[in-house]
Amino acid sequence: MSGPLAEGDLVQFLDNKGRRYQAVLTIGKEFHSHSGYIAH
């Protein structure tokens, strides 16, 4: 990684069961899963 995350970056989330989820960071959006959500 070369710096802080920015809008448009592709990120990958990993849950406690090892499942992977991908999302593109967009200002004002949220990533939702059964474990909760992450605002971005």
In a structure prediction context, what are the per-residue pLDDT tens digits for the chain, which is 40 residues long?
688 999 999 999 998 899 999 999 999 999 998 888 999 8
The single residue listed with the structure tokens 């991908």 is 22
Maximum alpha-carbon separation in the chain: 31
**What is the pTM assigned to this prediction?**
0.72
d(CA 23, CA 25): 6
Query: What is the DSSP secondary-structure string of 1-40?
Result: --S---TT-EEEEE-TTS-EEEEE--TT-EEEETTEEEE-
| Virtual torsion, Cα 15, 10, 2, 37, nearest 10 deg | -40
Give the domain ranges of the chain.
Answer: 10-39
